[in-house]
Copies of this chain bind each other. A is one copy, B any other.
Amino acid sequence: MLKHGILGLLNYGDATGYDIMLAFRKSLSHFWVAQTSQIYRELQVLEDNGWIKKTLVEQDGRPDKNVLSITDDGKSELIRWLREDEVTKTVRSPMLMKTFFRGECSIDENIEFFKRIAECINVFPDGEGEAFDAKDQYEKMIDNPERALFWKFTIDFGIMYEKMLLEWSNKCIQQLEGMKDEQQKDRT
Contact = CB atoms under 8 A, between A and B. Distances in A.
Nearest to A113: B85
A45 interface: no
Interface of A: 1, 4-5, 8, 11, 28-33, 78-79, 81-83, 85, 87-105, 109, 116, 120, 144, 146-147, 149-151, 153-154, 156-157, 160-161, 164, 167-168, 171-172, 175, 179
SS of A interface (majority) = helix
B31 A97 contact: yes
A97 B93 CA distance: 17
Q: How many copies does the complex hold?
A: 2
Contact of A96 (B31, B146, B149): B31
B1 A100 contact: no
29 contacts: A1-B97, A8-B97, A8-B100, A8-B101, A11-B101, A28-B100, A31-B92, A32-B91, A32-B96, A33-B91, A33-B92, A78-B101, A79-B105, A81-B98, A82-B98, A82-B101, A85-B116, A87-B120, A88-B94, A99-B157, A100-B151, A100-B154, A103-B144, A103-B146, A104-B146, A153-B168, A156-B168, A157-B168, A161-B164
Given A85-B116, A104-B78, A164-B161, A94 B150 contact: no
A78 B88 CA distance: 30
